[in-house]
A and B are shown apart, each in its own frame.
Chain A
Amino acid sequence: MSQYQPSARGYYGQFGGAFIPEMLYPNVEELREQYLDILADPAFQQEYQQLLRDYVGRPTPLFRADRLSQKYGAAIYLKREDLCHTGAHKVNNTVGQILLAERLGKKRIIAETGAGQHGVATATVCALRGLECVVYMGAVDMERQKPNVARMRMLGAEVRPAVSGSQTLKDATNEAIRDWISNPTDTHYIIGSVVGPHPYPDLVARLQSVISEEMRRQLLDQAGRELPDYVVACVGGGSNAAGAFYHFLDEPAVQLVAVEAAGHGVDTDKSAATSVLGRPGIIHGSRTLLMQDEHGQITEPHSISAGLDYPGIGPLHAFLADSGRARFISITDADALQAAQLVSRLEGIIPALETAHAFAALEQMDLKPTDVVVVNLSGRGDKDLDTYLRELHLA
């Protein structure tokens, strides 16, 4: 078995596991016992694949970005997850998990969201299947990602503000877990990233792995080779990166580049670069790299991007960082904003603020003309226009 698959107890090396209070044990155990069988069931697969094709719009294009390629002196391809229904890769996971929830007999769905893309993707599939939907979102994030709050409400979801802590993604996740504890029988928690207790990191990685599955096929078709030299993706919790890396994990020739949010800089106290600033610790049921003080209290991260503003990373990514399998690069708020403007003007694509961090990393990579680079364009930037106009002085 690949060393990048979790052990029976959900460990990637020393990271992972299921550190949950007993109140969650029946729910998580039910999921752990059943998720692999459900995912492998042909009837599930048929329904999932059909929804990915006809509802999400997969396969998403792989686009050769000529002007970016020219600027960086390498062949740069963009995996267009921004063209998924709802505007980001998040829906790959929610489509799969809503089908899973139905098979588990659940009637009510809860989710956390940072940038709002996972909340929108969850509200969307709940509308599609007629299930009740409650989304927890940090009060600060509700303010900075207003368009997504409006979309969730239009789709019929209830958006509940998380008002504890820094009122961002970590706190929204706390509130979602508390809701699950309080509703132990009828509710499924659709986690949006490769975080949380086992089996969530593996479940979400598998549901996002369609991204790299398509990349391999499309690269063979367009570049004459299945394996790129680099795959670049941004990491908050790390779901789009997990999907983009998944089918390349056991291909050592492919360099995996994970891009974290440095915020104001990794040497300041306003950062979210967990691989640099974190130590092993426990957050949301998983042992992973975690930003914390000397007493083990979780510290408040900062990023201009609501989707990367998280003090941990998924346990798979902690393992990729620890083992050196992936290279981690941190990008400041300012550099991400510049990259967003550059990509908008060179390629006619406005990326999400999260994705802009991945583009900014190209500046720090030593690329050769023969290199083939795939950037996972995880989401579109409509939700970030207010921030772009303000911060780039375009208003």
Chain B
Amino acid sequence: MINRFADLLARKPSGLLNLYITAGYPTLHDTMPLLRTLAEAGADILEIGVPFSDPLADGPVIQQTSTVALRNGMTLKLLLQELQGIREYLPDTPLLLMGYLNPVLQLGMEEFCRQAAAAGIDGVILPDLPAEEYAEFYQETFRKYNLRKVFLITPQTSEARIRRLDELSEAFLYLVSGPGLTGGNQTADQSVQQAYLQRVEALNLRNPRLVGFGIADKASFNNACQHANGAIIGSALLRALDGAADPHQAARAFVQRIRG
């Protein structure tokens, strides 16, 4: 069975760069070419955001890109159609879909999993699908299609619950860096964040750990990577794309600033 996450980890156990873009942003058909550019520029994992009208966990940047993407006409159906064939260009890069539950439920969870798997998607993040509902109703469907579910933990998550979420997660654990929304300023207090990342590191979990929310530049990326396998950047990348004459050039320059 293909496991692009395990293959990636075997090649590169640390310093993983996971980049998030909102599908349908900046223009409707930018998504597939941008994914390719980001992978070529050095992203290790790519996360494709499914725009939603009411993204509760997201800060202003992703709210805005989602609004623009919806206005551009992006839908979950269209995205899944566009994704069929992506593996011709990106055979090895782990690909995740990140979105809110309601659009997925309207398509139907089984149908969503079937089309995502057919496109070669590896994992799914649905922040408003609680672990209990997933375990009871959807885990079997995910397994049937070899789709890996990623759960979030926060500095407030208890150890017992972290272990439960580690059991349910199949690709990595998403460590929310601090209190706040995507694109926020959670990393202001480095010592608090480092203590949290060390505490989770010491639990010897079965999943690799990627840190997200508020990771915006080379310094915050490197800090996050000290006690985790890598980090996730979304809002800062989208801000770099905003208004860029050539989004591909802006994307390449952004990755160079993180990696350089």
Contact residues, B161-192 vs A (CB, 8 A): 161, 165, 176, 179-181, 184
Contact-residue size bin, chain B (C-beta under 8 Å from the other chain): 35 or more
Are B54 and A296 closer than 8 Å at their CB atoms?
no
Contact residues, B68-111 vs A (CB, 8 A): 70, 75-77, 100-107
Contacts of A295 in B (CB 8 A): 75-77, 103, 106
Are B70 and A297 closer than 8 Å at their CB atoms?
yes
Q: Does B130 sit at the interface, judged by CB under 8 A?
A: yes
Contacts of A282 in B (CB 8 A): 100-102, 105, 128
Contacts of A184 in B (CB 8 A): 154, 156, 179
Chain A, 260-283, contact with B by CB distance < 8 Å: what is the 0/1 string?
A: 000000000000000000010111
Contacts of A17 in B (CB 8 A): 133
Q: Does A153 sit at the interface, judged by CB under 8 A?
A: no
Are B180 and A181 closer than 8 Å at their CB atoms?
yes
- What CA separation (Å) do A361 and B56 show in the bound complex? 35
Are B56 and A296 closer than 8 Å at their CB atoms?
no
Are B128 and A181 closer than 8 Å at their CB atoms?
no
Are A296 and B102 closer than 8 Å at their CB atoms?
yes
Q: Does B30 sit at the interface, judged by CB under 8 A?
A: no
Are B127 and A182 closer than 8 Å at their CB atoms?
no
Are B105 and A281 closer than 8 Å at their CB atoms?
yes
A297-B52 contact, Cβ under 8 Å, with A181-B180, A285-B128 = yes
Most-contacted residue by chain A among B54, B57, B76, B152 (CB, 10 A) = B54
- What CA separation (Å) do A382 and B28 show in the bound complex? 47
Are A298 and B102 closer than 8 Å at their CB atoms?
yes
- Nearest opposing residue in chain B for A17, CB measure: B133
Give B130 Cβ to nearest chain A Cβ, in Å: 6
- Nearest opposing residue in chain B for A27, CB measure: B156
Q: Does B129 sit at the interface, judged by CB under 8 A?
A: yes
Most-contacted residue by chain A among B102, B103, B132, B156 (CB, 10 A) = B102
Most-contacted residue by chain A among B67, B75, B130, B158 (CB, 10 A) = B130
**Residue from B105, B132, B152 in contact with A9 in the complex, judged by beta carbons closer than 8 Å:** B132
- Nearest opposing residue in chain A for B78, CB measure: A295
Q: Does A294 sit at the interface, judged by CB under 8 A?
A: yes
Q: Does A164 sit at the interface, judged by CB under 8 A?
A: yes
Are B105 and A297 closer than 8 Å at their CB atoms?
no
Are A18 and B70 closer than 8 Å at their CB atoms?
no
Chain A, 1-41, contact with B by CB distance < 8 Å: what is the 0/1 string?
A: 00000000100000001111111011000000000000000
Q: Does B157 sit at the interface, judged by CB under 8 A?
A: yes
Q: Does B153 sit at the interface, judged by CB under 8 A?
A: yes
Are B102 and A181 closer than 8 Å at their CB atoms?
no
Give B147 Cβ to nearest chain A Cβ, in Å: 19
**Residue from A18, A26, A165, A294 in contact with B106 in the complex, judged by beta carbons closer than 8 Å:** A294
Chain A, 173-188, contact with B by CB distance < 8 Å: what is the 0/1 string?
A: 0100110011111000
**Residue from A9, A281, A294 in contact with B102 in the complex, judged by beta carbons closer than 8 Å:** A281
Are A19 and B180 closer than 8 Å at their CB atoms?
no
Are B152 and A23 closer than 8 Å at their CB atoms?
yes
A292-B181 contact, Cβ under 8 Å, with A23-B154, A165-B53, A174-B56 = no
Contacts of A292 in B (CB 8 A): 102, 106
Are A181 and B103 closer than 8 Å at their CB atoms?
no
Are A20 and B184 closer than 8 Å at their CB atoms?
no
Q: Does B221 sit at the interface, judged by CB under 8 A?
A: no
Contact residues, B113-132 vs A (CB, 8 A): 127-130, 132
- Nearest opposing residue in chain A for B63, CB measure: A164
Q: Does B151 sit at the interface, judged by CB under 8 A?
A: yes
A-B contact count (CB 8 A): 102
Are A283 and B133 closer than 8 Å at their CB atoms?
no
Contacts of A18 in B (CB 8 A): 130
Most-contacted residue by chain B among A21, A178, A281 (CB, 10 A) = A21
Are A296 and B154 closer than 8 Å at their CB atoms?
no
Q: Does A170 sit at the interface, judged by CB under 8 A?
A: yes
Are B176 and A23 closer than 8 Å at their CB atoms?
yes
**Residue from A25, A279, A299 in contact with B161 in the complex, judged by beta carbons closer than 8 Å:** A25
Contacts of A20 in B (CB 8 A): 128, 130
Contacts of A294 in B (CB 8 A): 106
Are B106 and A281 closer than 8 Å at their CB atoms?
yes
- Nearest opposing residue in chain B for A300, CB measure: B53
Give A234 Cβ to nearest chain B Cβ, in Å: 24
A residues bordering B, Cβ < 8 Å? 9, 17-23, 25-26, 164-165, 170, 174, 177-178, 181-185, 279, 281-285, 290, 292, 294-299
Q: 5 shortest A-B CB distances, which residue pairs?
A: A296-B106, A296-B103, A21-B127, A22-B152, A297-B53
Known contacts A22-B152, A182-B179, A296-B52; 16 further A-B pairs (Cβ under 8 A): A20-B130, A21-B152, A23-B152, A25-B130, A25-B156, A25-B157, A174-B56, A181-B181, A182-B180, A183-B179, A185-B179, A281-B106, A283-B102, A292-B102, A295-B75, A297-B52
Show 29 A/B contacts (Cβ-Cβ < 8 Å), sorted by A.
Answer: A17-B133, A19-B130, A19-B133, A22-B153, A22-B157, A22-B176, A23-B154, A23-B156, A23-B179, A165-B53, A178-B57, A181-B56, A182-B180, A182-B181, A184-B179, A185-B179, A281-B102, A281-B106, A282-B100, A282-B102, A282-B128, A283-B54, A284-B56, A295-B75, A295-B106, A296-B103, A296-B106, A297-B70, A299-B53
